[in-house]
């Protein structure tokens, strides 16, 4: 009986988790050089993700997490140099476990892959 009560208490704490989401729209993932040709690859978006581990403090978006998500998306299309028209979603999950509160984060980027040829644009 006591094991059942402990199991029910732990299970109810896991069900009490909540999620916070943030959405940002970005123009491009990398700097495009002046006098460069930017050409779309295909007409479909690619998706890249990056996750943080469990921690006792709320996660923040770091340049490492952002670079991993961009690289994950770019690896799905050969020849892609950057993403444009990006949907940028940051999801933080809060998991209360008895006295502790644990956090985990997930960054998802979705955008159109493009190639960039530097210095070859024709000037009129």
pLDDT averaged over every residue in the chain: 84
Which position has the higher pLDDT, 98 or 38? 38
CB under 8 Å to 15, separation ≥6 — which residues?
none
Which pair of tokens denotes residue 60?
């923040």
With b for 16 or more beta-carbon neighbours within 10 A and e for fewer, the 32-46 pattern comes to beeeeeeeeeeeeeb
Reported as a pLDDT band with limits 50, 70 and 90, residue 8 is confident
pLDDT at 12 over 70: no
Reported as a pLDDT band with limits 50, 70 and 90, residue 81 is confident
Distance spanning both ends of the chain, measured CA to CA: 83
For 24-55, how does the pLDDT look when each residue is reduced to its tens digit (9 = 90+)?
888 877 777 677 788 889 889 999 999 998 89
Find the mean pLDDT for residues 67-72.
94
Judged by average pLDDT, the poorest of 39-48, 85-94, 115-124 is 115-124
CB under 8 Å to 50, separation ≥6 — which residues?
65, 66, 68, 69, 72, 106, 107
Our measurement of the distance from residue 95's CA atom to the centroid of its chain's CA atoms, rounded to an integer in Å, reads: 20
The helix (run of H) or strand (run of E) holding residue 37 is strand 36-40
């Amino acid at each position: 009986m006591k094991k059942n009560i402990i199991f029910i208490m732990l299970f109810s704490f896991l069900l009490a988790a909540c999620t916070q989401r943030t959405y940002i729209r970005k123009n491009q993932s990398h700097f495009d050089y002046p006098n460069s040709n930017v050409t779309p690859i295909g007409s479909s978006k690619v998706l890249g993700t990056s996750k943080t581990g469990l921690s006792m403090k709320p996660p923040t978006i770091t340049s490492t997490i952002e670079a991993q998500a961009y690289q994950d998306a770019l690896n799905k299309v050969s020849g892609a140099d950057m993403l444009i028209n990006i949907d940028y979603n940051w999801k933080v999950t809060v998991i209360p476990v008895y006295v502790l509160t644990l956090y985990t984060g997930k960054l998802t980027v979705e955008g159109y892959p493009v190639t960039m040829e530097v210095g070859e644009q024709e000037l009129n």
